[in-house]
Every structure is written in structure tokens, then in C-alpha cells.
Amino acid sequence: MKLTSEEVNEIALESRLLLTEEELAGAVRYINRFLDALQCFKELDLKDVEPFSFAEAIECPLREDKVIPFPDTEAILHESEHVDGSYFKVPRIMEE
């Protein structure tokens, strides 16, 4: 089933993207063409197939759950234009 431009626009808004009319028309063509291409999966019997994982990953890949201070937090804060002291400051979160 083809997605309408309203549906694609809704998906774009979920991704926090505002599309111009031209961009939206392109996105509708792109997504529907792409979803058509994915219909080929239905030709395969995937019922008993496990989702992919790298088989050698048998050891626990996680690091020890221990805080390691980053040596240069100033360098991180320096890159933002929304800093207040040692915090990032964002606009209001609650809608009016």
C-alpha cells in the first residue's frame, strides 16, 4: 500500500524534519519506491530464521560499569552555544 504525502509528512515530523512541498513530494516518491523494493522479502520463508548477529561475539563486549572521568570537559562545553556554567541549556520543553 502506497504511503500518502500526509503519512510521509507525519513520519518526517517524528524525525524532527520539516519538509518543503518539493522535498515532501520527493520523499513520497522515494519512500514508496523503496517500500516496493522491499516487497521482495515476502518471497523468502523467514519464519524460522534468527535475526543476524556476528557469531564470534561470544565474549561480553561491555566495559566494566565504572565511571571514568573525561579529562577535558571544557573542550566538550566549548563546542556548544547553549551552555550555562557546566550544563547545556535548552529552550523550554513544555509546550505553551
Partner 1 sequence: MELYELNLWMLTEGLKAGKFSASEVFTSCKNRIDKCEGNIHALITRTDNEMPAFSKDGTLAGIPTIIKDNLCTKGLRTTAASKILGDWRPPYDATAWARLKDSGAVLMGKANMDEFAMGNTCGNSAFGPTHNPNDITRVPGGSSGGSAAAVSAGYVPFSLGSDTGGSIRQPASYCGVYGFKPTYGMVSRYGLISYGSSLDQIGPFARTIRDLQIVMSVISGHDKMDSSSFRNKPHDFTHNENASIKGKRIAVVKEFAGFTLDAPIADAMKRTLKILEDEGAIITEVSLPVVSKYAVACYYALAMSEAHTNLERYDGVRLGYTVKDARGIKEMFERVRSEGFGAEVKARIIAGTCLTEPTRCEEYYVAATKVRTLIAQEFSRAFGETDYILQPVTPSMPGKIGESDDDAMKGYEADLYTLPVNLAGLPGLSFFTGYAGNLPVGLQLIGARWSDSEILDAGMILERHFGSPKISDGGVN
Q: Which residues bind partner 1 (CB under 8 A)?
A: 3, 8, 11-19, 23, 26-27, 30-31, 33-35, 37-38, 40-41, 44, 46, 49-52, 54, 56-57, 59, 61-63, 70, 72, 75-76, 78-82, 88, 90-93, 95-96
Closest CA to 24 of 41, 6, 42: 6
Closest CA to 32 of 55, 72, 1: 1
8 A C-beta contact, residue 77 and residue 83: yes
Q: Position of cell 561480553?
A: 60
- Provide the minimum distance between the beta carbon of 67 and partner 1 in the complex, in angstroms, as a whole number: 15
- Provide the minimum distance between the beta carbon of 85 and partner 1 in the complex, in angstroms, as a whole number: 15
- Provide the minimum distance between the beta carbon of 15 and partner 1 in the complex, in angstroms, as a whole number: 5
